Structure 1
Amino acid sequence: MLRGRDDECREIRRLLDGPTGGGALLFQGEPGSGRTALVTYAHRHAAHRTALAGTGLADEAALPYAGLQRLLDPLLDRAGALPERQQSVLRRALTGEGCPACHRLALSMAVLGLLAVTARERPLLCTMDDVDQGDRPTAEVLAFVARRLRDLPVAVVLTAGVDATADGIPGYRLRPLGEADSRAVLADRLPGRPPETVVTALAALGGGNPQALVDLAGALTPGQCRGEEPLPTAPPPDGGLARAYRARLDRLPPDTRRVLLLAALDTDGDPATLTRAARAAGTTVDALAPAEAAGLVRVGPHGVTFPQPLARSMVEATAPLARRRAAHLLLADLCAGAGRRLRRALHLAAVAAGPDPLLAAELAEAAAGGEDGWATASAALRRAAELDPAHAATRLLTAARYAWSAGRPDEARLLLATLPAADPAGSGRADLLRGELELRCGAPPAALTTLLAGAEAVAGTDRAAALGALARAGEAACFSGDQYRYAEVARRAQRLCRPDDPPATELTGALIAGVAATLRADHERAGPALRRAVVLGDRLAAAELTPTALCSAAVAGLLVAVDSAAHRLADRAVALARDRGELSVLPRALDLRAVAEYWLGRHEAAGESSREGLRVARATGQANGVAVHLGMLAVLAAVRADRATSLRRIAEIGEAPTPGSRPHALAQWALGVLDLVDGRHADAAARLASLARTGTGRGQVLVQVMATPYLVEAAAHLAHHPAASAALAVFDRWASSTASPSRRALSARCHALLAPRGSAAAEQGFRAALRLHPADAGTFERARTELLFGQELRRSRRPRDARAHLHRAREAFTLLGASTWAEQATAELRAAGESVGPPEREAAHLLTGQQLRIARLVAQGATNREVAARMFLSTRTVDHHLRNIFHRLGVRSRIELARVLS
């Protein structure tokens, strides 16, 4: 089976089975991309055709028409059917006598005629693999023929490298396989069921190249298949891909190969270093010209790049050992003069023949802190572990931590799996990393257990690390919806806190204490602790400043509703994570920034933060971060009544999140808002009330607090609303403990909605909310309050008072691009007797299918009873639908309805 090549195989079948049976295809791809497999596929599906097969051979590239002679040799006995002049030209070319330029057209016509003569007996398939590797005259003749097959039962399939060109021939670039297809290629060839970490790492290493994946699968030891030994870092030097590259490289001049190897080994790509290296090797960078012409590299003002993902590693893997060794030593000398300590140590380590504790120590010291990139530092520490087995455990553990910082969780897991037996403290530190990986990429409930165990193991030697682990354990409990377990986390953290803790450690302790108090609704204790965490986050010294510490301070800011401070801290965490390349923490920082932007009313900015977080989480394998960002995007779309986008994001989440988890709660919040927008108030209230179970410590209390204004709005349409009242009581206790005007405005609006219609309490609540909404932020929520107040006044038979509020709501929603809410405000204005334009959207987009059918019948003059009879509905149901139709379209009579539908 050709994995990931469905489109190409379909084109081959279409060519072979087409009505004329003629045509041509050109497949271009890098070595190992499956070009030869496609040629084989064409022959396998051409049983009813005469088949000719040729391959471009580099050894014959200097022999004009050598490839054409091999291809046409089986047909030469039919050449007598050609005109005499064409026979003569063809014979001279194929016997090595050449073909003058003035006879090339005659030669090309002779080849076309020979194929046509053969195809009279039976349709013909003619293939030439690697046509660009053989002699150029053969390629030119075949291209000429391929462009003239429209009415002949001759199919031509050619393959070439990515830089080959052939005008007039349908070409298909063979793209790298996607992850799913790469994993399938490996599954076809790996024995048993290897761990997911092994398959994922190999799929990434293969770079989507089918031959590389096949070679990797064939080269694994049993221990590597089981994930018990380190995996290779490149496809094997004796595999099919390496042979293809070796043949390609052997055609280059010696100086070109020498400089190309230096460019491959100098991964920094510094042009000055390569220039000096080439000069030291006795040549210049200009020697790369043939390699650039062959498509192996691109040379620009910023250095040398390898456009094909595996070309760099293949250049290194196929070079003779002595040449590699000399190149590494040359680059090591240059790095010493340039102050590139880690690069120098890596070059020396590449040629070390056995254990070398001194070089291992140099690698470890130079890699500390990841200044040259976390991935490079991780590789250095892995090599240090090999050079000094006595210190392997500590260095492998640090290498795993660095791999995770670089956003490579599978690599980190593999390194953890290869750790030798260690002391309990070392095992505890490994558990801290395992728990963090599980929190971001796996099962948060399991992460909670692992993190608690790790914190217990290291508490005696590293209190700061233990407190950090407890903070993540608390996050795991909240993510899973098991907030009742946070009390245990807080008790353990309290035992570890000291009055003289440094600011970063004090911040973590204050956060845990504040979150625990918040979850038990003890806001008198929560407030001071959380505000202290925010202050500490702003005061962290450079030595203690990390994205994780800033994220902790941002969480505290959100919990005490200091939205601007929370946004500032989260934004600093994002910037710092990017600057340091700490991809593992970036999705979390972007999540917190998006939540702060939501509370600030910056929905567009929140969406952009979540979209970036989604991209990074997917790229770094953080499945839980992916689900959270999808959930937030679904909520943001639902709040703006963008049904299609919200449902699409929810569908992307899938069914993986367990009920009660944060992604599941975000999806339910979004669906509840959509229910509210569509007027399904009972469904909306039930869905939003289910986000948390009051008094049990289960579910998503913090998500439900965010969703409470929508729960109350839905419940206001119901006769009984105990769940909404209970949720509002929780919201009130929190809002009143903060200094946030926006939270108090939402609280006042909720109480106004639950007050009796037309009562003084309702009006006072709405007016209080409008006074409290900040003038410089929260435009959307202010507009929602204006709309709801306008609805209350109109339904209380005060249309004149309602109009000013509805006008302001309509204007704000229009400016914000919230078209559905603007249309609701328009409908309310019309119902209040205001003369406003018709809805901007067509009725067909505003109504359900059944509502649209009813509306059209009514517009045609049918009575409600007649509509009920024709649609097999009760008259009461038709009355109900008609009221909703009038409301959605902003009309007040059947005459206006007919006008809108016309």
Structure 2
Amino acid sequence: MTRQRLPGPAPLRYHAGPERQEVAELLDTLHTGGGVRVVTGEPGCGRTAFLDFVSRCLRAGAVWHVRADPARSARPHSGLHTLLHAAGRSVDLPGDGTAAKALLAAVDAKAAETPLLVCVDDVHLWDSASRAALGYVAARVHSEGGRAGLLLTVPGHRPVDREWAGLPVLRLGPLQPGDAAALLHDVTDGAVDPAVCDELVTEAQGNPALLLALTRRLSPAQLRGHRALPRPLADAEALTAVAGRCLTGLPPDRTGLLLAVAAALRATGEPDAEAELVRRAVDSCAGWSAGVPAPEAWRATTSADAPLCTGRWPETLLLAEGRLRFRSALLGRAVYAGAPPEHRRAAHRALAGVLSDAHTVPALLHRSWTVTGPAPVLAAELAAAAADPASATPPGLRRTARVRAAELTPDGAERVHRYTAAAGQALLAGHSSEALRLLDAAGSGPAPAAVRGRAELLRGGVLLTDGPVDDARESFLLAASLLAGRSPEEAAVAGLGAADAAWAAGDLTACLTALGHGTPAADEGTGSPVADGTAAAATGTAVDGTGAVLGTARSSSAALPRPEHPALLRDYRDGMRAVLLGRFGLAADPLKRVVERGRPASGPEQLLRSAAAALMLGDVTAARRAGARALAAARTLGSAALEARALEYLAYAELRAGRHQLARTHAEQGLRTARRTGQRNTAAHHHAVLALAASIEGEREHVAEQVTAALSTARRHGLAQAATLAQWAAARADLGAGRPREAADRLGPLVLPGARRGHFAVWMLAVPCFVEAAALAGRPEHARTVVQDFALWAACGADPQAPAQLLRCRALLAAPEAAGELYRRALDRHEETAGDFERARTGLLYGKWLRRRRRLREARVRLGEALVGFERCGAHPWVQQAAAELRANGAAPGGAGTGELSRLTPQQLRIARCVAEGATNREVALSLSVSTRTVDYHLRNVFATLGVRSRVELVRLVEQAVRAEKTSAQL
């Protein structure tokens, strides 16, 4: 039986995790044996929508689908009568045992005719007799099989009833951020601003019902980002709308306990609280809401050694190893938000009173939430505790403490300072939107120039990773002017930040101005080719296996203003400026000093600056080493923001080393981190790297997807560099697919003089691809001018591949009597550098040239070498080109075409192996940083190419291939 494909536009596509795989397996088992799932999840997780979707998925079979009716639950067997009535059956149910057997007989009889799926929503609301009968049937189906399947939904904020004990449980987890954004995009018809979308997704924490409730709160202008969002975004009304029904009918004393737990969690940021602490806090209160005292019965059960007794205390809480937590985190949020303010203050006062150390961050936070006005002494204590480096306080809690300290501070300058410190902590954790909100709060009050300068420096760092880069440049320039004369080191960092922003925007004049030099024309006697971007291509470079230079001169410390050694900043600025002006001899010494200072460094900012300097020098080994150490340092520091940046540098360095598959791995990791931390600009660069890597491997749909994603942000935020890299990747994919005319059309505007020429540090790097495309398309005259420019770039010495590429370009445009010698010289130069892909491209072009001149034996040698080189680096379309040329030459390529899996593209092979390991389509998509739709598309092609009809057959085929590889290796 072929596995049923779950339709894309149904609600389950937003829950594309393990549950999708389990439902597919359940539907399959209806034809081979029965299956049972007890579906649960927190309030608002979509249990009802999930059941509705699954009930529609069974096309060949019968579905009995009912929802429990609380109004009829008092009548014995009312649930069974409802189910059998929906099934069109009339069965007498005289007693419990007979009822269970009668229901089992009815299910077996229908399942004998056709596959049967029984869906019961909110089965916990059924009467006890009906629950017992259905539990009996579910247990029999689960243990004995059959052609019936059962899906029963129960709430996840309370224990599962005993009738369903021992049955498989399917818990609907939270939506992943990408899935939540897709849901929001669909329900708003794409009318939501990306920044607003990010805030809503973060606030909803993966809960689809809460996400929709928050969306309904907003006006069209707020959704589009034209008006400020309400604060708090998830207020008591929204939370109660989703989870309030679960709290209905609780006595006041139990509500008080829930509030105590919720308040304890808020002050620690942890998922659970110490039960003994909560017990002592409750014991210290005379009573909770309405003055009702806390009963001894449940108060005793909160102690660490007391047995779990759900009849004595709220079943919405779970006690384990002496710690209390809510079964649903959303419920805890609803309890706290919905409590009257005076009750919240009483809970915090009680908790603060029982903590042993009154000077810890949690104790101070509890105290702070008991006051309603300015409290300068308490604010100072909070700020000091949050800044204590010896404290083990988590970064998120430090940020909360800094914000609360700012709120309690009456002095304007000190308040701005504390808001800025909190914003820095938010940015360090990767919460860009929160950092901007805190900076806006900081800007609302008066403050000295130095304090305002640091706030603008931080704002520039936020916008550089997630906002229009022109706005980031202006913030940096303002920070530099405010800090000049007051903090020279921070002013220098702000100047470099402005240069970084100008670099990302492709504004060479602004970049040099920010570096303190003025315009290129002001540099007398440089003889620099900077005006056309030739020498500028060296700045912040990273060269991949195609000879492409991927530039990034962005200094990481611009995002987080930390003091750096003045000499290091000066060397970095001087080296970067000299490279931009084409003075490579003057750039070497200061940049080498930056690299050397980075070797013993432990801070991620300094290590990333060292990596950038190494990339400018062309020292790929040092760049990779510094990038890897920066990544480790960022992870140790807990800085998700710097982690995404370090992965970007690593990806560039790997591309330069000709290791595009490793670059792809780092870019996939970096993209996930950038998405999680809201760094859309950084994500755009990772998309561009992924597009470049995929263009080598020939995954045209993957290239198109990554190019679209990169350009979507690049065009809105002015990222000229990312846009140029993405467009170049699309053209290289065309060239690999044997479409030189389309490639030439794409590349022409990027490399030829004119207003549309690409980023000043990137366009030159696409010249070899353009020359090849133009020559193969029969337009060699279009490429002669840019070859002269490329010769200037090759003479710079920063790109070891460029001299060989230059010779190849000249061979493509040369007369027949000169081309052969140029190709041979190009191949000789390739021997001096690493990188299979570029050498194989030259060999393929030379082999084609030889074959056209009937020098078949020589052509066969060159084409065979090219084929092996392309195979080694996974360049699938070029493998096909080389194999086709060999066949046309009269030789059949051997070895590579054997085996079933060899017919797959590299991306298809990756997906096939992931699926064979048991990954769902969504899990594959997350691991490869592509959409689920792309995985579906490739998987269909895999099935068609290999002639398999199900995942089971695919698993078998992959396992056979793995065994064959092991056997071959042993031989």
Q: Calculate the TM-score normalised by the size of structure 1.
A: 0.70
State the superposition RMSD in angstroms: 5.5
Corresponding residue of 2:513: 488
User: Matches of residues 249-288 of structure 1 in structure 2 within 5 Å?
Assistant: 264=265, 267=268, 269=270, 284-287=303-306
1:218/1:769 Cα in 2 relative to 1: closer, same or farther (>3 Å)? closer
Contact 1:227 1:417 in 2 (8 A): no
Measured in 1, the distance between the counterparts of 2:82 and 2:822 equals 95
- Displacement of 1:562 in angstroms is 0.9
Residues 447-493 of structure 1, C-alpha deviations (whole Å, 9 max, x = no match): 22332223222223223223223323222222223233212212269
Identify which range, 327-336 or 33-42, moves more after superposition: 33-42
Residues 308-329 of structure 1, C-alpha deviations (whole Å, 9 max, x = no match): 3424434555678898668756
Contact 1:31 1:244 in 2 (8 A): no
Q: Please tell me whether residue 139 in structure 1 is matched to residue 127 in structure 2.
A: no
- Displacement of 1:536 in angstroms is 3.0
Q: Calculate the TM-score normalised by the size of structure 2.
A: 0.66
Corresponding residue of 1:820: 877
Residues 534-575 of structure 1, C-alpha deviations (whole Å, 9 max, x = no match): 2333354x5xx2x33332322222222111111112222222
- Displacement of 1:607 in angstroms is 0.3
Q: Please tell me whether residue 239 in structure 1 is matched to residue 240 in structure 2.
A: yes
- Displacement of 1:615 in angstroms is 0.9
Q: Please tell me whether residue 54 in structure 1 is matched to residue 69 in structure 2.
A: yes
Match 1:378 to one of 399, 411, 414? 399
Corresponding residue of 2:454: 429
Q: Please tell me whether residue 347 in structure 1 is matched to residue 359 in structure 2.
A: no
Q: Please tell me whether residue 30 in structure 1 is matched to residue 49 in structure 2.
A: no
- Displacement of 1:435 in angstroms is 2.7
Measured in 1, the distance between the counterparts of 2:563 and 2:663 equals 33
Identify which range, 574-583 or 277-286, moves more after superposition: 277-286
Match 1:757 to one of 787, 811, 816? 816
Contact 2:506 2:719 in 1 (8 A): yes
Question: Where in structure 2 are there 5+ consecutive unaligned residues?
Answer: 1-8, 15-35, 55-63, 84-88, 107-117, 141-149, 284-299, 523-561, 904-971
Measured in 2, the distance between the counterparts of 1:524 and 1:737 equals 10
Measured in 1, the distance between the counterparts of 2:493 and 2:676 equals 25
| Amino acid in structure 2 at the alignment position of 1:636 | A
- Displacement of 1:595 in angstroms is 1.0
Q: Please tell me whether residue 629 in structure 1 is matched to residue 686 in structure 2.
A: yes
Corresponding residue of 1:589: 646
Corresponding residue of 2:589: 528
Corresponding residue of 1:567: 624
The residue matched to 1:491 in structure 2 has which SS?
coil
The residue matched to 1:808 in structure 2 has which SS?
helix
Q: Please tell me whether residue 737 in structure 1 is matched to residue 752 in structure 2.
A: no
- Displacement of 1:182 in angstroms is 6.9
Residues 759-788 of structure 1, C-alpha deviations (whole Å, 9 max, x = no match): 2641452243133124xxx23333334434
Corresponding residue of 2:96: 104
Identify which range, 246-255 or 478-487, moves more after superposition: 246-255
Contact 1:590 1:613 in 2 (8 A): yes
Match 1:477 to one of 473, 498, 502? 502
The residue matched to 1:700 in structure 2 has which SS?
coil
Corresponding residue of 2:740: 681
Residues 354-384 of structure 1, C-alpha deviations (whole Å, 9 max, x = no match): 4322221122122228863433222111111
Q: Please tell me whether residue 537 in structure 1 is matched to residue 598 in structure 2.
A: yes
Q: Please tell me whether residue 670 in structure 1 is matched to residue 729 in structure 2.
A: yes
User: Matches of residues 146-161 of structure 1 in structure 2 within 5 Å?
Assistant: 160-161=155-156
The residue matched to 2:744 in structure 1 has which SS?
helix
- Displacement of 1:610 in angstroms is 0.8
Q: Percent identity?
A: 32
Match 2:328 to one of 286, 289, 308? 308
1:107/1:400 Cα in 2 relative to 1: closer, same or farther (>3 Å)? same
Measured in 2, the distance between the counterparts of 1:607 and 1:353 equals 52
Match 2:662 to one of 580, 599, 605? 605
Contact 1:634 1:647 in 2 (8 A): yes
- Displacement of 1:413 in angstroms is 2.2
Identify which range, 585-594 or 254-263, moves more after superposition: 254-263
- Displacement of 1:687 in angstroms is 2.5
Contact 1:514 1:525 in 2 (8 A): yes
| Amino acid in structure 1 at the alignment position of 2:591 | L
| Amino acid in structure 1 at the alignment position of 2:510 | R
| Amino acid in structure 2 at the alignment position of 1:31 | P
Measured in 2, the distance between the counterparts of 1:702 and 1:248 equals 66
Q: Please tell me whether residue 403 in structure 1 is matched to residue 403 in structure 2.
A: no
1:644/1:304 Cα in 2 relative to 1: closer, same or farther (>3 Å)? farther
The residue matched to 1:364 in structure 2 has which SS?
helix
Contact 1:25 1:156 in 2 (8 A): yes
1:388/1:783 Cα in 2 relative to 1: closer, same or farther (>3 Å)? same
1:565/1:730 Cα in 2 relative to 1: closer, same or farther (>3 Å)? farther
Measured in 2, the distance between the counterparts of 1:346 and 1:478 equals 43
The residue matched to 2:42 in structure 1 has which SS?
coil
User: Matches of residues 628-707 of structure 1 in structure 2 within 5 Å?
Assistant: 628-653=685-710, 655=712, 657-658=714-715, 661-692=720-751, 699-707=758-766
- Displacement of 1:665 in angstroms is 1.4
Contact 2:405 2:418 in 1 (8 A): yes
- The structure with more radius of gyration: 1
| Amino acid in structure 2 at the alignment position of 1:363 | L
Measured in 2, the distance between the counterparts of 1:603 and 1:400 equals 36
Q: Please tell me whether residue 514 in structure 1 is matched to residue 514 in structure 2.
A: no
Corresponding residue of 2:441: 418
Measured in 2, the distance between the counterparts of 1:457 and 1:320 equals 45
Contact 1:484 1:698 in 2 (8 A): no
Residues 607-661 of structure 1, C-alpha deviations (whole Å, 9 max, x = no match): 0111111111211222222222122111111122232322232244465533872
Corresponding residue of 1:357: 376
- Displacement of 1:588 in angstroms is 2.4
| Amino acid in structure 2 at the alignment position of 1:55 | P
Corresponding residue of 1:92: none
Residues 127-152 of structure 1, C-alpha deviations (whole Å, 9 max, x = no match): 9975426764453356679999xxxx
1:490/1:369 Cα in 2 relative to 1: closer, same or farther (>3 Å)? farther
1:702/1:336 Cα in 2 relative to 1: closer, same or farther (>3 Å)? farther
Identify which range, 571-580 or 230-239, moves more after superposition: 230-239
1:628/1:169 Cα in 2 relative to 1: closer, same or farther (>3 Å)? same
Match 1:809 to one of 866, 871, 894? 866
1:383/1:539 Cα in 2 relative to 1: closer, same or farther (>3 Å)? same
Corresponding residue of 1:443: 468
Measured in 2, the distance between the counterparts of 1:180 and 1:606 equals 23
Residues 484-528 of structure 1, C-alpha deviations (whole Å, 9 max, x = no match): 321221226999xxxxx9864433443344334333433333333
- Displacement of 1:593 in angstroms is 1.1
Measured in 2, the distance between the counterparts of 1:301 and 1:284 equals 10
The residue matched to 1:418 in structure 2 has which SS?
helix
- Displacement of 1:220 in angstroms is 9.9
Corresponding residue of 2:677: 620
| Amino acid in structure 1 at the alignment position of 2:760 | V
Residues 387-414 of structure 1, C-alpha deviations (whole Å, 9 max, x = no match): 2232322211221222122111222222
Measured in 1, the distance between the counterparts of 2:252 and 2:339 equals 13
Question: Where in structure 1 are there 5+ consecutive unaligned residues?
Answer: 10-23, 43-48, 58-64, 76-80, 90-102, 115-125, 149-154, 496-500, 847-902
1:184/1:195 Cα in 2 relative to 1: closer, same or farther (>3 Å)? same
| Amino acid in structure 1 at the alignment position of 2:736 | V
Bigger RCO of structures 1 and 2 (CA < 8 A, at least 6 apart): 2
Residues 88-139 of structure 1, C-alpha deviations (whole Å, 9 max, x = no match): x5xxxxxxxxxxxxx313456899999xxxxxxxxxxx99975426764453
The residue matched to 2:831 in structure 1 has which SS?
helix
| Amino acid in structure 2 at the alignment position of 1:441 | D
